[in-house]
Amino acid sequence: MTTNKAEKALTAKQRRFVDEYLVDFNATQAAIRAQYAERSARSIGSENLTKPEIQAEINRRLDSIMPKAEILGRLAQQARGTMQDFFFIGMEERTIEKRRIQISVDDKGRQGQEVILEETEEKAMRPAVYLSLVKAQNLGKMHLIKKYSLGPKGESIELYNAQDALTTLGKYHAMWVDRAEVTGEDGGPIEISEIVVKKSHERPPALDDD
């Protein structure tokens, strides 16, 4: 098994940290599981993530799992996802059955036996709308389905949230950042007070011995 340069530069404990960090992306827990001191795990975890050699190994491992271009491509597909790719909407040939029947009625108006006199079928084009997973598969869109269910009313699907994908892509391209506005009381400006501490050079009074 070959070892890359970035991994060679790491200590055994740092390699363990990278292994554990890729489990849940929690630097503190990764440091604890890598046998760093628990009391300093938070600071060590944060510090490790700033080290170029550790960052390089994390990025290399992530890229081997799914390259950055593929991740962005998947997010873009989710953002562009539309139900139109999963439904047939149009005209479809349907078979219409027609029957000519005779119903007997007695002298008291009670309905008797129903007799079929003639049965015919004819083809006609009719509007149709229905879920079509075959269409989605042919278009290569099945991976956009987050949830599929089959119930008494038929099939239903849920796609990955397009708005969430757009937000993630926007953050990646630094189109916006999360900001918090801090104000004073009732939305007013924050008051800043200057506190001046004067250092006294006077000697404190002597304490009585008794």
Residue predicted with more confidence, 171 or 179: 171
Report the percentage of the chain scoring pLDDT > 70: 81
Would you say residue 106 has pLDDT above 80?
no
Q: Residues 123-145: pLDDT tens digits?
A: 889 899 999 999 999 999 999 99
pTM attached to this predicted model: 0.51
Would you say residue 7 has pLDDT above 60?
no
For residue 1, the model assigns a pLDDT of: 44
For residue 145, the model assigns a pLDDT of: 95
- 27, 54, 58: which is closest to 41 by C-alpha? 27
Report the percentage of the chain scoring pLDDT > 90: 50
- Please state, in angstroms and as integers, the Cα–Cα distance from residue 62 to each residue in 22, 25, 148, 156, 196, following that order: 8, 11, 29, 34, 53
Residue predicted with more confidence, 187 or 129: 129
Q: Measure the CA dihedral 160/163/167/170, to 10°.
A: 100
Tokens read off for 25: 């992306």
Backbone angles phi, psi at 68, to 5 degrees: -55, -40
Would you say residue 76 has pLDDT above 70?
yes
Angle between helices 52-65 and 41-50 (to 10 degrees): 80
Banded pLDDT at 176 (limits 50, 70, 90): confident
Neighbours of 197 (CB within 10 A): 5
For residue 199, the model assigns a pLDDT of: 58
Would you say residue 80 has pLDDT above 70?
yes
